Structure 1
Amino acid sequence: MRVAPKEIQSFRDDFTYTNSAAAIERFPFPFPEDEYRYSVNIEAHQPKGGEGSAFEHYIDIDEHYLSEMAERELVLKDMPNRCLVMEHMDLACWEMLERYMVSLAEDYPEHFTLTRDGDSWRWENKLLHIDDHFTFGDSATLPRPPLDYIGRQVQGDFALMDQREGNLFMDAGMVTCPADWSLAFDAGMSFDEWHGPVPMVHNEGIIDRARKYLMALPVGQPVRRLNWTLTVNARMDTSSETYNEWGHERASITPENVGEKIYLRVEVQVLDRMPRSNAVTISIRTYLLSLEDLVTNKAWAVRMHRTMKTLPEALIHYKGLTRFHGMVVDYLAQFDPAN
């Protein structure tokens, strides 16, 4: 699917967000088996699935681009600290800006143009009507600091990890659509510390292996993994800071509305080594799909039922599914011929 952004839809209040048939077809369904167990599940971030796939390009831009950029502006207007950069991460931020601008201009030339003459750069984003000339490396020549500038033009959240002292530290990021966590709380934490609440992974050594793998990640060989949860309503911003706005929605699910109101929320997480700063960037691209839309794919409906039915109790609690998990299983059961 080539980029054809829809008019702005809402991820809050009246929740006008919808997926087209093409968006449903390209949704990154996260379950390869009938049972789900927490794992690192890392693969090379290379094109996969053919033209129009969510994995076709380094950065995925889709029909929700304008809606997500509008939502990001609302969040940052209310909470500017959703974008945080420690002083020593300036070079890493410029490298991230470079990586994203080059990728967008190469993969979506009809929407993005990058012209470079030494350190004198011109960036055009036709979707957001941006046309800026600046000097690479000089923040004073940009309307905003580099991470803040490019982060408002790319779908998904972003964190930059500094590698030192035998660990990775979350020292910069822009996070406006997290799944129940907070950049302001996690900033400066080590890789092990911010993964502390995840059940089972420490006893099984998953976090230790993941950290060692990422610390050895070479330049020019990005990797990706999928993460998922279930969320109520098409709400992008389910941050810890706004829990009072969305936490109560978990109690609103009934057998009658579960298909409409419960969304499978999938994150495509891409990790990439920056060549000069040695920082590791992680982009967290979020996709939302209602159960009603999901079950239009019969194979997904069956697989989803079986993974939810066998989900370990610890993961049900960790992912915040306790109130409605049973209703989700019952709803999906009607689409599983083996049930």
Structure 2
Amino acid sequence: MSITIDKDSELAVLPERIRKFPFPFANDFYRYSANVEPANKDVATEVGNWGAGLIDIDEFYHEELADREAILKRDPSRMQVLPHMRTAVWDSIATLLPSMAAENPEIMSFQRDGDTCRWQNSLQSLDLEFTMGDDDSLPMEPMRFLGTQIQDDIVLLDVRENTMWLDAGLVTFAADWSFGFDVGMTFAEIHGPVPRVKEENIVSRAEKFLLRLQPGEQFRRTNWTMTVGRRLDTSTETYPEWGPDRGTIADDPDMPNKLHLRVEVQHLIRLPHSGVLMFLIRSYLLPLSDIAKVPSWREKFGHVLAELPDDMAEYKGIIRYRKAASDWLLSGKSAA
């Protein structure tokens, strides 16, 4: 029997991080799929909503941008732009800044007269005039500048030879993959290690869909994994810092507060001028203790973890603790 809650009463007390969380499961099981839908479509959940806009700005804005700054200082390779992708980076700026201003007019403003632009972001006390296409008119490299304004990671795929190539991006919050390793690879090569997707033709179907996108079209999908602690940077480069936690969290009495469901909202956009495909990857973290505050989420996620095939659990890196997490979710216990 499905468990429900009084949505109106819960909305008044649940924090924003729960009310705006993009809970990804509609069923009690999960399999890989393209799960692509049009962007900018508001999604109602049991306790709130998400997805009405392209760029989500939330309570973690300053924290996550400061985290990105620290990561880039330690490892500048997290941002790479091959020379032929410079135009696509400016195309990204010309696409995202007006969208952010339109979605957040109380805190942001974008004005353009020819190539002369003015960008205002009151969250950063920023009032910047620059010339579209002129790298020297920005206080830093164009891709780097864009990464100071949005919480999303950015991946740019060039289209040539009837496929897509990862030729630029800024990725500080990778979930168990390496942006630096993948730069220069094709779309199919990047997704080669994912179990089941080749046999079920998911990658080839996704590639065909993306190649058919028209300039300006925007779609999105969700993906998920789990993370120990509120840590967005779980790249393979930093595995020694977070990998050992996977082996100990199942026995940790504080597991419900430390173990997080990580959901990525991935926007897929065919840039209007360059024709490059832009992937925006926005990552959200919610601990099991918060998920348990929504009974239907607790039940669904518990069953998803229990039923998930071993090869998929292994690839997601959750196989050592998924039973403990599932058992806790389905037990109905409260977090300590």
Question: Are residue 27 (structure 1) and residue 21 (structure 2) matched?
Answer: yes
Equivalent in the alignment of 1:164: 160
Q: CA deviation at 1:53?
A: 3.3
Secondary structure (helix, strand or coil) at the match of 2:289 reads: helix
Q: In structure 2, how many angstroms separate the alpha carbons of the residues matched to 1:63 and 1:24?
A: 12
Residue 26 of structure 2 aligns with an amino acid whose one-letter code is P
Q: CA deviation at 1:116?
A: 1.4
Q: Please report the TM-score for the alignment, with normalisation by the length of structure 1.
A: 0.91
Equivalent in the alignment of 2:11: none
Question: Are residue 307 (structure 1) and residue 304 (structure 2) matched?
Answer: yes
Unaligned runs of 5+ in 2: 1-13
Q: CA deviation at 1:251?
A: 2.1
Equivalent in the alignment of 1:149: 145
**Alignment check: 8 A CA contact 2:178 2:237 kept:** yes
Residue 279 of structure 1 aligns with an amino acid whose one-letter code is V
Q: In structure 1, how many angstroms separate the alpha carbons of the residues matched to 2:287 and 2:22?
A: 13
Equivalent in the alignment of 2:77: 81
**Alignment check: 8 A CA contact 1:40 1:210 kept:** yes
Q: In structure 1, how many angstroms separate the alpha carbons of the residues matched to 2:330 and 2:103?
A: 41
**Alignment check: 8 A CA contact 1:27 1:54 kept:** yes
Q: How does 1:17-166 map to 2 (within 5 A)?
A: 21-49=15-43, 53-166=49-162
Q: CA deviation at 1:255?
A: 5.4
Q: Please report the TM-score for the alignment, with normalisation by the length of structure 2.
A: 0.91
* Higher mean displacement: 40-49 or 275-284: 40-49
* Higher mean displacement: 114-123 or 233-242: 114-123
Q: In structure 1, how many angstroms separate the alpha carbons of the residues matched to 2:113 and 2:21?
A: 38
Q: In structure 2, how many angstroms separate the alpha carbons of the residues matched to 1:331 and 1:50?
A: 26
Q: In structure 2, how many angstroms separate the alpha carbons of the residues matched to 1:48 and 1:335?
A: 30
Question: Are residue 262 (structure 1) and residue 259 (structure 2) matched?
Answer: yes
Equivalent in the alignment of 1:333: 330
Residue 213 of structure 1 aligns with an amino acid whose one-letter code is F
Residue 47 of structure 1 aligns with an amino acid whose one-letter code is K
Equivalent in the alignment of 1:186: 182
Q: In structure 2, how many angstroms separate the alpha carbons of the residues matched to 1:219 and 1:229?
A: 31
Equivalent in the alignment of 1:235: 231
Unaligned runs of 5+ in 1: 1-19
Q: How does 1:170-249 map to 2 (within 5 A)?
A: 170-249=166-245
Secondary structure (helix, strand or coil) at the match of 2:150 reads: coil
**Alignment check: 8 A CA contact 1:163 1:169 kept:** yes
Q: In structure 2, how many angstroms separate the alpha carbons of the residues matched to 1:243 and 1:37?
A: 26
Q: In structure 2, how many angstroms separate the alpha carbons of the residues matched to 1:299 and 1:322?
A: 23
Q: In structure 2, how many angstroms separate the alpha carbons of the residues matched to 1:44 and 1:56?
A: 11
Secondary structure (helix, strand or coil) at the match of 2:55 reads: coil
Secondary structure (helix, strand or coil) at the match of 1:34 reads: coil
Identity %: 43
Q: In structure 1, how many angstroms separate the alpha carbons of the residues matched to 2:148 and 2:238?
A: 20
Equivalent in the alignment of 1:17: none
Q: CA deviation at 1:46?
A: 2.6
Equivalent in the alignment of 1:5: none
Q: CA deviation at 1:104?
A: 0.9
Q: CA deviation at 1:267?
A: 0.0
Q: 1:273 aligns with which of 270, 273, 298?
A: 270
Secondary structure (helix, strand or coil) at the match of 1:127 reads: helix
Q: CA deviation at 1:50?
A: 6.4
Q: 1:39 to 1:50 in 2, by over 3 A?
A: closer
Q: In structure 2, how many angstroms separate the alpha carbons of the residues matched to 1:299 and 1:229?
A: 19
What's the RMSD between the two structures over aligned residues?
A: 1.5
Q: In structure 2, how many angstroms separate the alpha carbons of the residues matched to 1:126 and 1:79?
A: 28
Q: In structure 1, how many angstroms separate the alpha carbons of the residues matched to 2:288 and 2:194?
A: 25
Q: In structure 2, how many angstroms separate the alpha carbons of the residues matched to 1:333 and 1:255?
A: 18
**Alignment check: 8 A CA contact 1:151 1:174 kept:** yes
Q: CA deviation at 1:326?
A: 1.4
Secondary structure (helix, strand or coil) at the match of 2:27 reads: coil
Residue 185 of structure 1 aligns with an amino acid whose one-letter code is F
How many residue pairs align between the two structures? 317
